[in-house]
Structure 1
Amino acid sequence: MGSEKEIAIARKARMVGVVMAVTMVVWLGAQWIGGKMGLPVRFVFLFDLAALAAFVWAFVNIYQIWRARQQG
């Protein structure tokens, strides 16, 4: 089995993957439901901003994972 640091990095990477996958599915669903319900664009735009925030969080964490692996 790996060291504690490797296990922590793997756990963090799994969380990032789950967040990215769930964000994409929820965002696509929100866009589809918003179109079917006829929501105003300003409300649907909130889903875009939430998805963007989740992806920014994911990319920051990916960078942190990359840096942690570089440091050995």
Structure 2
Amino acid sequence: MTEGQSAQDVARKSRMVSVVIAGTILIWLALNVIGKMAGLPGRFALLFDFAAMAALIWALVNIYQIWRARQADKG
């Protein structure tokens, strides 16, 4: 692994990313259903979409970091 990153750190980061991805999708789906049932304006749906995109972009950045750490371990 890279400097200061053990296999346990990478595994912990991987688990955190998977929880964030799954949680984001579940919360996003729930908020869209609840928003539609409550009759919220479309701008709230857009807000939920942007929040979900931000969380998924964060996850993508962390997946890249995990991949780089594993590549460094191979070499």
Aligned to 2:21: 20
1:12 deviates by 0.1
Q: Give me the whole-angstrom Cα distance separating, in 2, the residues matched to 1:44 and 1:63.
A: 29
Q: SS of the residue aligned with 2:6? A: helix
Aligned to 1:63: 64
Task: List structure 1 runs of 4+ shifted beyond 6 angstroms.
Answer: none
1:43 deviates by 1.2
Structure 1, unaligned runs of 5 or more: none
Q: SS of the residue aligned with 1:71? A: helix
Aligned letter for 2:40?
L
- The one-character-per-residue Cα deviations of 1:10-45 (angstroms, maximum 9, x if unpaired) are 000000000001000000000000100110001111
Q: Give me the whole-angstrom Cα distance separating, in 2, the residues matched to 1:5 and 1:43.
A: 41
Whether 2:35 is the aligned partner of 1:34: answer: yes
Q: TM-score scaled to structure 2, two decimals?
A: 0.90
Q: SS of the residue aligned with 2:40? A: coil
Q: Give me the whole-angstrom Cα distance separating, in 1, the residues matched to 2:57 and 2:11.
A: 19
- Counting aligned pairs with the same residue, the percent is 57
- RMSD over aligned Cα atoms: 0.8
- The one-character-per-residue Cα deviations of 1:37-71 (angstroms, maximum 9, x if unpaired) are 11000111100000000000000000000000000
